[in-house]
Amino acid sequence: GRKIRILDSTLREGEQHPGVNFTTKQRIQIAWMLDSFGVDQIEISPVVSPDHVEATKTIIKQGLRADIVAHVRAIKSDVDIAIGCGATWVATYMGISDIHLAAKLKISREEAKIRALEVADYIKSHGLKSRFTMEDASRTEPEFLIDMCKEMNRRGIERISIPDTVGIMRPRGMFSLVKMVYDNIDRSKTSLDVHCHNDIGLALANALAGCEAGADQIHTTIDGFGERTGIPALAETAVALSLIYRANNDLRLHMIKDLSRTMSEYVDLGIPESKPIVGDSAYKHKAGTHLAAILRNPAAYEILEPKAVGNRRKIVFGELAGKNGAAYLLSLLGLETSKHEAEQLAKGLKELRMGDILELYLDDRLERKILNDAPMKIG
Ligand code: HCA
Ligand code: CU
């Protein structure tokens, strides 16, 4: 399929999540990892603190393959900070919905437009590539949004970001919003980003819908961390793009779990065990019918080999194990099993009422053993 790019904002949006604060060294390490994973752009905000200026400068100097995008407010002095860091890509944002204009800048739409365009021209006059973010686009008066996008497009701004800043959209709405912008600009000059918040759990679905409508870049963070409940997780986005859209075959998917692990080492938040792709339970199988099928062919309940994303397959034994699970458990102990014995054990596991009693990795070696071995015949 068509290439859909990834901008990772772990170093900007990610740091806006409560509890996420990196050291400069950690920021540099994350940038290297994201780059070798294969994201197209890495976003960082230099204006936050002197440390961030330092990190931005250093990361830009690494000469990574990904573009380093300095994210700042649509204010000339902020742009100057980005330029001072050596940025060649600058993203500026401005809240352009009426509620944002009133609550933050306290200016009219007309004034906002003048300011935004001045800043856009300022960036262009420095010969830089840029993105303009129509913050709160999903709640902006459509005519004003289109007007702003057309003006930016006319100025040759390389990218426009259409964020669902408050996470209020559904996929169909996001599709229409992006399509409306897409149909109103000269696409040879400007491409579109989607940045969707996860307030009701629709972030990735909305972002993908935006791409179906013409956007070609999704914003992510490692494990989805961001303001409030965050934005799409890099892991889920990367897998969706490779597996469903077949759009990004150059990503090093096997690094995904490592990125997530690194993040959990740097911040004290842990990886939720039920997290798709990277969570401890993402490849853990429990119910008897599932175990029976998994032991024959894991694809019965897995869309992707856990190895492919650096995760591992596990099975859980307990009340739900059933006779197939029980037979497997007995075979691990080296016991020849009859159907009757397996059933007895399955019954026993239920009567114990202990919930899950044992968890095992089911990796390559065990897999092979199982495929040629006894438990299969039972049941
Ligand atoms: C913010 C705004 C932003 C910007 C998104 C973008 C949003 O948190 O300051 O630049 O594409 O959600 O609107 O993250
Ligand atoms: Cu955001």
pLDDT at 280: 95
Which residue from 93, 94, 227 has its CB within 8 A of the most atoms of ligand 1, so it is best to mutate? 93
Q: Whose alpha carbon is nearest atom 2 of ligand 1? A: 135
Residue 229 contacts residue 217 (beta carbons within 8 Å): no
What confidence tens digit (pLDDT) does each residue in 236-293 have? 999 999 999 998 778 999 999 999 999 999 999 988 999 999 999 999 999 999 999 9
Spell out the residues 6+ positions from residue 49 whose beta carbon is closer than 8 angstroms to its own.
Answer: none
DSSP-derived pairing of the beta strands 41-44 and 217-220 = unpaired
Residue 21 contacts residue 249 (beta carbons within 8 Å): no
What is the rounded distance in angstroms from the CA atom of residue 353 to the CA atom of residue 376?
26
- Which one, of 236, 209, 266, 195, lies nearest residue 26 by Cα? 266
Q: Whose alpha carbon is nearest atom 10 of ligand 1? A: 133
What is the rounded distance in angstroms from the CA atom of residue 35 to the CA atom of residue 119?
29
Q: Whose alpha carbon is nearest atom 14 of ligand 1? A: 13
What is the rounded distance in angstroms from the CA atom of residue 195 to the CA atom of residue 205?
11
Question: How many Å lie between the centroid of ligand 1 and the Cα of residue 262?
Answer: 24
pLDDT at 36: 97
For 58, the 3-state DSSP assignment is: helix
- Which one, of 365, 232, 235, 363, lies nearest residue 305 by Cα? 363
Say which amino acid occupies 101.
L
Which residue from 13, 75, 194 has its CB within 8 A of the most atoms of ligand 1, so it is best to mutate? 13
Spell out the residues 6+ positions from residue 231 whose beta carbon is closer than 8 angstroms to its own.
Answer: 9, 13, 195, 196, 197, 198, 203, 219, 220, 221, 224
What is the rounded distance in angstroms from the CA atom of residue 190 to the CA atom of residue 129?
11
Backbone angles phi, psi at 220, to 5 degrees: -135, 170
- Which tokens in the block code for residue 17? 């999540």
Q: Which atom of ligand 1 is nearest to the CA of 95?
A: 13
What is the rounded distance in angstroms from the CA atom of residue 175 to the CA atom of residue 205?
10
Q: Whose alpha carbon is nearest atom 4 of ligand 1? A: 135
Spell out the residues 6+ positions from residue 192 whose beta carbon is closer than 8 angstroms to its own.
Answer: 159, 160, 161, 162, 178, 181, 182, 210, 214, 215, 216, 217
Where does ligand 1 bind, in terms of residues with CB under 6 Å?
Answer: 13, 16, 91, 93, 133, 135, 161, 163, 165, 193, 195, 197, 219, 227
Ranges in the chain, pLDDT < 70: 364-379
Question: How many Å lie between the centroid of ligand 2 and the Cα of residue 35?
Answer: 21
- Which one, of 213, 261, 227, lies nearest residue 71 by Cα? 227
* Residue ranges with strand state E in the chain: 5-8, 41-44, 67-73, 89-95, 129-135, 159-164, 191-196, 217-220, 284-285, 314-318, 356-361
